[in-house]
Amino acid sequence: MNMKSSLLPFTLVGFILLFACHSANEKKYSGWQVYGGNKENNHYSSLKQIDTSNVSGLRVAWVYHTGDSDQMTQIQVNPVIIENTLYGVSPKLKLFALDAASGKEKWVFNPADSSGGKGKGYFSMNVCRGVAYYTNGKEDQRIFYSVASRLYCIDALTGRPIPSFGNQGFIDLHQDLGRDVSDLYVSSTTPGMIYKDLIIIGTRVAEEAAAAPGHIRAYDVHTGKLRWIFHTIPQPGEFGYDSWENKEAYKHIGGANAWSGFSLDEEKGILFAPIGSASYDFYGGKRLGNDLFANSVLALDAATGKLIWHFQTVHHDVWDRDLPAAPALVTINKDGKKMEAIAQPTKSGFVFLFERTTGKPIYPIEEKPVPTETELLGEKLSPTQPWPSLPKPFVRQSVNESDLNRLVPDSSYEDIKKRLSSYKTGFIFNPPSKEGTIIFPGFDGGAEWGGAAFDPGTGLLYVNASEMPWVLSMVDIKKQSVKEETNLEAGQRLYIDNCMSCHGPQRQGSGNYPSLIGVEKKYNEEQFAQLLVTGRRMMPALNRLSHSEKKAIASFILDEKDKQKEKYIATAKPEDEWYNMPYSSTGYNKFLTKEDYPAVMPPWGTLNAIDLNSGQLVWKDTLGDYPELKAKGIHSGTENYGGPSVTAGGLIFIAATSDAKIRAFGKRTGALLWEADLPAAGFATPSIYESGGKQFVVIACGGGKLHKPSGDAYVAFALP
């Protein structure tokens, strides 16, 4: 199924802008010193040694193996290149520096050997997507990156922690949040943003009821001292506080976090932050109201953290529709007028366009009525949701019988048809339900954390997307019985409360969360207890659980027959009323055929080009292939993680797909011009740079998602 099409011709205005911007962009975008290419987060490179005429000649220039991949490890890193040195992070969170021309290792920093880490033997394996670089323009050069709850400050030249920063080279991100969250999960997925002498940090927090708040913080790059904080969950007297009906919510509710990074208008001093949903993801009965600033794009004064403007893209989110990536800073030509704007892609397939300094929508945004009737007691949904008039959605947003997968045998088709008839479907904002609600394009996009690329010369935005239907099913949580429990009984109950929403009711795993069946072969009791304390990658820490609760869960999951019979000793906790939800989901369950294909017809993954000057889709192509379908001439696309990068040489480079390839498309037409096999799936965004007079494209090949093998390689391509 080939989706490739050219929908609109380039405008004369587009070509004029191309030539006008050419010389300025040549220097401004020639490096890759920031996650996402530059602080504008446009994934754009002005390098053009590699172009449409010679891209087919690309060859592997060097490969660097980190040597520390493991089962289900990942590398989602978009590396930065500073003065011919490439900085990246390994699957087990080692920071390294390479010669950018040869891939030869310069130094490695292992956080397990750092102060406070040696001898522990285990720490939280959070996902890390890159690093932030600071320099005073002289000898002071620093790399900031996160491991577990620590933000490290590393000497960029030597690879050693800088002891004058925080506590001998790091600060603990549990601190400075205004309440005690020491037992809750706090880490940083995406690198912070450097503004003058500040490192501005967002965090990843748990998505369950017990979650830390996602306040944005700015620290002094030299000392690690807090300089400002913006409360993403407003406190009394702050704007947005009245959007929460329960006036005590700010003391207990978490989430609303900037987990996917920032973009920055450095000249104007404006920081742009995409904010995630409030906790708990799928039931909002304890956070009634619109829940500002959850699901909002924020414009903040980068020097002070003061709010300039905001726009909430989803009111009272109960579908996990976080803003998945920082907006791209763009300049467009609308009605003959040059406008500075931001383009915010979403999981739902919308692109919201706002004037950069005022937040005024570039195209009208309508508040459309949506269903509010729900069977979940205590829930109260927003009666409307914002709907941009342009650009139109770049993915499908609902599933009906006519959308179902016809590529499978009749028996399989009848099965998905029957299952669909039992679900709520047909509209993107259908409420969560006990019978099951179709979430489409999916919990993981639409757009995801890879973000979009923008070509400043043509005004085209490039965004890749997944179109995978998921099923959100809610179940009642039974209150603890007054009768005495065994560890097995308590462990089963605590599993439902704390683990089922990710690992499924039968411990079978769901989405990107693994099965726990047979986990007793991998962990002993001590290792499992440590895992609950630290968390690992997608799993948040559960350190708030009491010793008796951890023991009970371990007895159930590790199938410890002797301990399961022991009496469970409950521990009362005064804050439990906020964390005890009446409902939970049964996990992140994809709607699949018996053959494990998505239950809808292709495309399942696409690359899209949108003309922001007009709001129109220019072209769309499938992204990725299932080999067995490709052999039949069916180009289906695959789910994808990681974003595109665009160049002045007329190319879009993207990996992201489950078929472990990197590709180059012509940016004007979407024609596939080159592809190469990778040692593992490249679930990351390519970096494009020049070293020694040669242009390189480098991609991290970590695999580990979508049931694909893990890898440990960074692969760089160049012309011979």
Can you tell me the distance from the alpha carbon of 602 to that of 605, in angstroms, rounded to the nearest whole number?
8
Domain range annotation of the chain: 12-473+592-718, 478-580
Instruction: Name the more confident of 663 and 17.
Output: 663
**Residue percentage of the chain with pLDDT more than 90:** 77
Token pair 């969170």 in the structure block, residue: 93
Instruction: Name the more confident of 422 and 117.
Output: 422
Minimal CA–CA distance to 438: which of 411, 467, 413? Answer: 467
CA angle at residue 597 from 393 to 686, to 5 degrees? Answer: 60
pLDDT at 1: 41
CA distances from 610 to 6, 171, 614, 672 (A): 11, 41, 9, 17
Can you tell me the distance from the alpha carbon of 605 to that of 641, in angstroms, rounded to the nearest whole number?
10
Contact call for residues 205 and 540 (beta carbons, < 8 A): yes
Can you tell me the distance from the alpha carbon of 569 to that of 490, in angstroms, rounded to the nearest whole number?
9
Can you tell me the distance from the alpha carbon of 368 to that of 372, in angstroms, rounded to the nearest whole number?
12
- Across 379-499, where does the E strand assignment appear? 384-388, 437-439, 452-455, 460-466, 470-472, 474-476
pLDDT band for position 244 (50/70/90)? very high
* 681, pLDDT greater than 80: yes
pLDDT band for position 115 (50/70/90)? very low
Instruction: Name the more confident of 507 and 247.
Output: 247
Query: For all residues of the chain together, what is the average pLDDT?
Result: 91
Residue range 299-308: average pLDDT?
Answer: 98
pLDDT at 9: 47
Q: Which fold has domain 12-473+592-718?
A: Methanol Dehydrogenase; Chain A (2.140.10)
Token pair 């979430």 in the structure block, residue: 439
pLDDT at 120: 44
- Model pLDDT for residues 454-511, shown as the tens digit of each residue: 999 999 999 999 999 999 999 998 776 556 888 777 777 777 777 776 787 777 776 6
- The whole-model pTM stands at 0.90
Can you tell me the distance from the alpha carbon of 690 to that of 613, in angstroms, rounded to the nearest whole number?
31
Can you tell me the distance from the alpha carbon of 452 to that of 261, in angstroms, rounded to the nearest whole number?
13
Q: Map residue 185 onto helix, strand or coil.
A: coil
Q: Map residue 109 onto helix, strand or coil.
A: strand
Neighbour-count burial for 680-691, b at 16+ CB within 10 Å, e otherwise: bbbbbbbbbbbb
Strands 645-647 and 216-220: unpaired
Can you tell me the distance from the alpha carbon of 454 to that of 610, in angstroms, rounded to the nearest whole number?
9
Four-way CATH pick for 478-580: 1.20.1050.10, 3.40.50.2300, 1.10.760.10, 3.40.50.720: 1.10.760.10
